[in-house]
């Protein structure tokens, strides 16, 4: 291209438009299976089409794009697809607010967000696009669900849900605010309804042990998953009783079963607590109106674990007693609001001396406390344990003076035949004695619970079941799949509109052909996202869920998404993969070989609460901030009415909380390359980011300087380049050798950082390269050659982050036709060598200066140079060196 047409102005719109057209023309990102090439499947978590992109999306997809382009330039056959996690609650909320069908709202959002993604220049193969709300996708959710039913992995049981008594509808946890319904303000009740579950617990062992094979997953994610699965070995045992029900039969065969991980403290049991729904509680409440009222109260409130764990622990006596299996003591039974019927057997033993929660409960209700574990530091040989002031009583009501602690590392005391045993020994002995009486045994308990997938919601994948009065719940036959969701309903907030839609509801029983009723519950949207990565690998197949193309692309080589998905989505996907493997649909055990968990992009949260309207969120641009003296945000006033709003600190950018930042304005003003560069430069990918656009100017300036240097190259450097390059054998003058050395050093560092997936320092390295280039002499042929090499390195290292400007310059400056197909640069060792190195000089660990030593000097020589140096002599004050520490290439420390 002639020099005069190379604009001196950095016109990002023109450059980005032209470059994106070039990619489209060359189908640059179309991924084709090629067995002869190493493949790289790079996947970012697909977005929920909430309306518009926010900065978290820009961050996520830029990271994925940088990795995709970096691997493409490293000669991998790359595939980066994109799709839409299109079912979900926000579409129904929008329908309630605007009376638009969720389908229309969703598809409009997809169209808009797709444009936004395209304007950012991501290397996406759009021919693989999918949306989970389309029947050709969710058909396979239904198909696999039916296979799971056949294998007893899917089954039906009751589930506890949040029930809004005014709207007569099930609420999502998000719709429960301070124990009340979000729209009605009514106190939420717990309600038991039937639902379908997937038996993820059947895979608990494998989900736990296979974590060890995920070498390229962040440790913290594996740790969180392991804790979530929560394998613990304990003892399940029974208290005996002779409490009879109305028909004269023994309730639960005369046994009250409990599970404990602390069977070593079984001799310290002073009461039991059962859930409000437990048969013993129900029985006791029959003639006890006060207890019946308490049980009713327990049934109100949220079902969330966090609420359960933080709420005030309350209980009430049942008046019933059970018999301790080892001591035959009579143990009183309480109803506790903190005991969940859905966990274990819905009952717990209580040892107030050694369990924090039981201790608080015993204090509150003045119950007996019996310590059975010695305080730390004591042994049974020392007899009666004491606190500082008095002997610890064998058994007492709490008097506010002593506390035996909750540790497991001391030996038993006050426990009869078990005295002196350790934690492990005691559990073995207790389990053996219980087993001998046929009243208990060791049991592995998992914290993990089966996955309830039924949602009483419209905008989701229909569960393919038909209810028949004669045949019960009948699976929809495969040839009638998919069960298509009508896409023109408008939910109004009072339950699932499918229940009012005869054309959907009414059908015939597949077994007996009598009129029957279609299931109206839909699937949890986590089902949709549990296998989409496999479908990207084989789009368009209407005859199979996955095919042989997936064998080529799977597993996902790099998965990128928010840390907030560390447990649920990633665990469900791993589970789904294992089920598909057992059905012989796929051959791999794990879906994602390498995982990068991006830190969240946070923004200020502002809200206002009222009983009438529930909670109302304000966007940051709708309020004026108030600060305290030190500049911290303390509150805000709404711009439209000047009244205060509550400041909620920082939180994840989300549609529902209205604190997302739309990248459009920024792309419009500065261009995609600047936005991408700024996002990568501003913080490392895994770190939480409190959003601020301060600094975007600097990124823009940098790209302008890159463009300006391109002009310098075209106008001042190119003409000096010799026809035959001599750089490989040339002896360079010092300033050019230094430039070349610095560039290759920075390249080495950038390659190292890319391996670590730390992109902010890669961006820094590019800035440093440009700083060095701008200072370089440009007055000779050899200078032109060094600049040509160094700028070529800079353009390629920068290109995954800012692909448009680097492509344009690469072509303009005749480096090649397409930077995407250029080889990734590697540092040249010869450019890195130096004769002399500088070491830091410390005396007694304090930095006092530096010394220069020949690069070839050994430790002895370095020590001699260090001690002889003027600086060392000054700070050693004539004392002899006691010890000299040499850290090669870094420092010398003289200890006197």
CB of 577 to RNA, least distance (A): 18
CB of 886 to RNA, least distance (A): 9
Is residue 744 a contact point for RNA (CB under 7 A)? no
Residues 872 and 865: their CA atoms lie apart, in Å, by 10
Residues 6+ apart with CB under 8 A from 4: none
Classify strands 255-260 and 347-350 as parallel, antiparallel or unpaired: unpaired
> Which CB, 352 or 440, lies closer to RNA?
352
Is residue 483 a contact point for RNA (CB under 7 A)? no
> Which CB, 172 or 471, lies closer to RNA?
172
Question: Using CB under 7 A, which of 645, 675, 767, 851 touches RNA?
Answer: 767
Is residue 764 a contact point for RNA (CB under 7 A)? yes
**Would you tell me how many other CB atoms lie within 10 Å of the CB of residue 767?**
19
CB of 113 to RNA, least distance (A): 13
Residues 773 and 777: their CA atoms lie apart, in Å, by 9
Give kind and range of the element (H or E) at residue 893.
Answer: strand 891-895
Near RNA by CB under 7 A, which window of 278-286, 388-396, 724-732, 834-842?
834-842
DSSP sequence for 784-818: HHHHHHHHHHHHHHHTTTSHHHHHHHHHHTTS-S-
Q: 169-208 burial by CB neighbour count: b if 16+ within 10 A, else e?
A: bbbeeebbbeebbbbbbeebbbbeeebbbbbbbbbbeebb
Residues 95 and 218: their CA atoms lie apart, in Å, by 39
Site for RNA in 437-456 (CB under 7 A): 447-449, 451-452, 454-456
> Which CB, 86 or 476, lies closer to RNA?
86
**Secondary structure of residue 375 in the 3-state scheme:** coil
DSSP, res 21: H
Q: 533-567 burial by CB neighbour count: b if 16+ within 10 A, else e?
A: bbbbbbbeeeeebbeebbebbbbbbbbbbbbebbe
Whether omega before 482 lies within 30 degrees of 0, making that bond cis, reads yes
Question: Using CB under 7 A, which of 32, 166, 293, 304 touches RNA?
Answer: 304
Near RNA by CB under 7 A, which window of 207-215, 664-672, 711-719, 752-760?
752-760
Contact characters 778-807, RNA, x per CB under 7 A: ------------------------------
> Which CB, 255 or 574, lies closer to RNA?
574
Q: What are the structure tokens assigned to 884, written together?
A: 């000299």
Site for RNA in 655-674 (CB under 7 A): 656
Half-sphere exposure of 63 (CA within 13 A, CB side): 29
Residues 170 and 184: their CA atoms lie apart, in Å, by 12
Question: Using CB under 7 A, which of 681, 707, 713, 810 touches RNA?
Answer: 681
How far is CA 468 from each of CA 142, 307, 471, 520, rounded to the nearest angstrom?
19, 39, 5, 14
> Which CB, 170 or 862, lies closer to RNA?
170
Let me know how long the chain is. 896
Near RNA by CB under 7 A, which window of 20-28, 225-233, 493-501, 782-790?
225-233
Near RNA by CB under 7 A, which window of 51-59, 253-261, 301-309, 729-737?
301-309
Question: Using CB under 7 A, which of 445, 494, 664, 760 touches RNA?
Answer: 760
Question: Using CB under 7 A, which of 435, 567, 633, 832 touches RNA?
Answer: 567
> Which CB, 695 or 733, lies closer to RNA?
695
Is residue 531 a contact point for RNA (CB under 7 A)? no
CB of 688 to RNA, least distance (A): 5
Question: Using CB under 7 A, which of 89, 276, 527, 790 touches RNA?
Answer: 89
Closest to 284 (Cα-Cα) out of 294, 270, 297? 294
CB of 834 to RNA, least distance (A): 13
Residues 6+ apart with CB under 8 A from 837: 852, 853, 854, 855, 889
Near RNA by CB under 7 A, which window of 314-322, 385-393, 532-540, 842-850?
842-850
CB of 92 to RNA, least distance (A): 8
Contact characters 111-150, RNA, x per CB under 7 A: ----------------------------------------
Near RNA by CB under 7 A, which window of 83-91, 137-145, 634-642, 728-736?
83-91
Residues 6+ apart with CB under 8 A from 213: 589, 590
Q: CA triplet 492, 496, 497: central angle to 5 degrees?
A: 65
Phi then psi dihedrals of residue 97, to 5 deg = -75, -40
Half-sphere exposure of 632 (CA within 13 A, CB side): 6
Closest to 569 (Cα-Cα) out of 539, 533, 601? 533
Is residue 499 a contact point for RNA (CB under 7 A)? no
Sign of CA dihedral 598, 601, 607, 612: negative
Burial class (CB in 10 A: 0-12, 13-18, 19+), 156: middle
Question: Using CB under 7 A, which of 768, 796, 804, 807 touches RNA?
Answer: 768
Residues 56 and 60: their CA atoms lie apart, in Å, by 6
Is residue 869 a contact point for RNA (CB under 7 A)? no
Q: CA triplet 781, 782, 784: central angle to 5 degrees?
A: 65
Is residue 757 a contact point for RNA (CB under 7 A)? no
Site for RNA in 332-391 (CB under 7 A): none
CB of 831 to RNA, least distance (A): 16
Q: How many residues bind RNA (CB under 7 A)?
A: 100
Closest to 376 (Cα-Cα) out of 417, 414, 401, 408? 408
Near RNA by CB under 7 A, which window of 235-243, 261-269, 272-280, 564-572?
564-572
Question: Using CB under 7 A, which of 359, 533, 650, 824 touches RNA?
Answer: 650
> Which CB, 285 or 489, lies closer to RNA?
489
CB of 408 to RNA, least distance (A): 13
> Which CB, 162 or 802, lies closer to RNA?
162
Phi then psi dihedrals of residue 667, to 5 deg = -65, -45
Residues 569 and 560: their CA atoms lie apart, in Å, by 12
How far is CA 492 from each of CA 94, 161, 489, rounded to the nearest angstrom?
10, 20, 10
Question: Using CB under 7 A, which of 48, 107, 140, 707 touches RNA?
Answer: 48
Question: Using CB under 7 A, which of 76, 526, 552, 588 touches RNA?
Answer: 526
> Which CB, 61 or 413, lies closer to RNA?
61
Identify whether the C-beta of residue 315 lies closer than 8 Å to the C-beta of residue 361. Answer: yes
Question: Using CB under 7 A, which of 11, 129, 329, 564 touches RNA?
Answer: 564
Question: Using CB under 7 A, which of 95, 170, 537, 793 touches RNA?
Answer: 170
> Which CB, 435 or 895, lies closer to RNA?
895
Site for RNA in 308-337 (CB under 7 A): 309-310
Site for RNA in 597-616 (CB under 7 A): 600, 602
CB of 46 to RNA, least distance (A): 8
Phi then psi dihedrals of residue 687, to 5 deg = -90, 140
CB of 2 to RNA, least distance (A): 25
Question: Using CB under 7 A, which of 227, 387, 613, 669 touches RNA?
Answer: 227
> Which CB, 505 or 563, lies closer to RNA?
563
Identify whether the C-beta of residue 618 lies closer than 8 Å to the C-beta of residue 658. Answer: yes
CB of 193 to RNA, least distance (A): 7
Site for RNA in 873-892 (CB under 7 A): 883, 885, 887, 890-891
Whether omega before 559 lies within 30 degrees of 0, making that bond cis, reads no
Site for RNA in 693-722 (CB under 7 A): 694-695, 697-699, 701, 704-705
Near RNA by CB under 7 A, which window of 138-146, 429-437, 689-697, 789-797?
689-697
Which ranges in 645-780 belong to alpha helices (H)? 664-670, 672-682, 696-712, 734-756, 759-775
């Amino acid at each position: 291209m002639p020099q005069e047409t190379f604009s001196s102005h950095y016109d990002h719109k023109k450059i980005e438009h032209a470059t994106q057209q070039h990619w489209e023309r060359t189908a640059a990102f179309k991924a084709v299976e090629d067995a002869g090439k190493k493949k790289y499947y790079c996947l970012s978590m697909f977005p929920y089409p909430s309306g518009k992109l926010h900065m978290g999306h820009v961050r996520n997809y830029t990271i994925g794009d940088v990795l995709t382009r970096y691997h493409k330039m490293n000669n991998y056959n790359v595939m980066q697809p994109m799709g839409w996690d299109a079912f979900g609650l926000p579409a129904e909320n929008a329908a309630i607010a605007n009376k638009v069908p969720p389908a229309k709202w969703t598809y409009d959002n997809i169209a808009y967000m797709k444009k936004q993604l395209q304007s950012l220049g991501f290397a996406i193969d759009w021919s693989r696009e999918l949306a989970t709300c389309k029947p050709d996708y969710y058909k396979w959710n239904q198909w696999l669900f039916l296979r799971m039913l056949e294998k007893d992995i899917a089954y039906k049981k009751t589930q506890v849900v949040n029930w809004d008594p005014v709207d007569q509808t099930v609420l999502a946890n998000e719709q429960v605010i301070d124990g009340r319904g979000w729209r009605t303000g009514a106190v939420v009740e717990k309600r038991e309804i039937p639902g379908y579950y997937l038996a993820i617990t059947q895979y608990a062992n494998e989900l736990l042990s296979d974590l060890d094979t995920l070498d390229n997953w962040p440790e913290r994610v594996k740790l969180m998953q392991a804790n979530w699965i929560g394998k613990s070995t304990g003892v399940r045992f029974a208290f005996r009783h002779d409490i009879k029900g109305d028909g004269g039969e023994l309730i639960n065969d005369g046994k009250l079963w409990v599970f404990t991980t602390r069977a070593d403290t079984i001799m310290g049991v002073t009461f039991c607590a059962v859930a409000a729904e437990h048969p013993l509680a129900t029985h006791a409440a029959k003639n006890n109106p006060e207890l019946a009222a308490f049980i009713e109260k327990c049934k109100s409130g949220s079902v969330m674990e966090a609420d359960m764990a933080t709420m005030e622990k309350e209980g009430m006596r049942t008046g019933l007693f059970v018999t301790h299996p080892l001591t035959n003591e009579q143990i009183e039974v309480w109803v506790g609001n903190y005991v969940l019927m859905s966990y274990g057997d819905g009952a717990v033993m209580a040892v107030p001396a050694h369990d924090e929660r039981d201790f608080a409960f015993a204090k509150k209700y003045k119950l007996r406390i019996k310590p059975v574990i010695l305080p730390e530091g004591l042994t049974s040989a020392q007899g009666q344990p004491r606190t500082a002031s008095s002997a610890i009583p064998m058994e007492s009501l709490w008097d506010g003076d002593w506390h035996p602690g909750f540790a497991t590392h001391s030996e038993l005391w006050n426990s009869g035949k078990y005295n002196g045993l350790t934690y492990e020994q005691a559990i073995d002995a207790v389990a053996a004695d219980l087993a001998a009486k046929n009243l208990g045994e060791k049991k592995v308990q998992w914290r993990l619970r089966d996955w309830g997938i039924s949602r009483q919601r419209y905008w989701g994948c229909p569960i393919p079941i038909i209810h028949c009065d004669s045949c019960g719940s009948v699976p929809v036959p495969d040839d009638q799949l998919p069960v298509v969701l009508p896409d023109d309903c408008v939910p109004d907030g009072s339950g699932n509109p499918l229940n009012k839609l005869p054309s959907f509801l009414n059908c015939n029983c597949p077994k007996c052909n009598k009129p029957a009723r279609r299931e109206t519950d839909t699937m949890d949207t986590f089902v949709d996202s549990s296998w989409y990565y496999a479908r990207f690998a084989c789009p368009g197949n209407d005859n199979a869920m996955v095919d042989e193309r997936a064998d080529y692309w799977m597993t996902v080589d790099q998965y990128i998404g928010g840390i907030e998905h560390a447990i649920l989505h990633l665990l469900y996907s791993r589970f789904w993969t294992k089920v598909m493997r057992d059905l012989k649909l796929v051959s791999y055990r794990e879906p994602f070989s390498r995982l990068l968990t991006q830190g969240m992009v946070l923004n200020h949260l502002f809200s206002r609460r009222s009983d009438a309207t529930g909670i109302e969120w304000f966007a940051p641009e709708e309020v004026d901030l108030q600060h305290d003296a030190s500049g911290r945000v303390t509150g805000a006033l709404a711009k439209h009415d000047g009244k205060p709003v509550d400041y909620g600190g920082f939180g994840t950018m989300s549609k529902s909380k209205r604190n997302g930042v739309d990248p459009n304005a920024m792309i419009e003003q500065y261009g995609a390359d600047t936005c991408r560069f700024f996002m990568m430069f501003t913080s490392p990918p895994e770190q939480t980011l409190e959003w601020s656009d301060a600094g975007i100017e600097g990124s823009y300036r940098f790209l302008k300087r890159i463009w300006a240097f391109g002009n310098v190259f075209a106008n001042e450097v190119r003409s000096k380049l010799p026809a035959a390059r001599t750089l490989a054998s040339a002896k360079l003058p010092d300033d050019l050798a230094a430039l070349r050395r610095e560039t290759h050093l920075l390249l080495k560092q950038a390659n190292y950082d890319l391996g670590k997936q730390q992109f902010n320092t890669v961006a820094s390295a590019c800035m440093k390269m440009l700083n060095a280039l701008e200072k370089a002499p440009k007055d000779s042929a050899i200078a032109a050659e060094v600049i040509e090499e160094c700028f070529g390195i800079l353009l390629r290292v920068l290109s995954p982050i800012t692909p448009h400007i680097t492509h344009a310059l690469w072509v303009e400056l005749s480096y090649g036709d397409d930077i995407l197909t250029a080889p990734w640069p590697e540092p040249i060792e010869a450019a890195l060598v130096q004769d002399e190195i500088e070491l830091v000089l410390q005396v007694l660990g304090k930095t006092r200066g530096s010394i220069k030593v020949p690069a070839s000097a050994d430790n002895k020589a370095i020590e001699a140079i260090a001690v002889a140096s003027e600086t060392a002599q000054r700070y050693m004050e004539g004392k002899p060196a006691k010890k000299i520490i040499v850290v090669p290439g870094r420092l010398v420390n003289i200890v006197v």
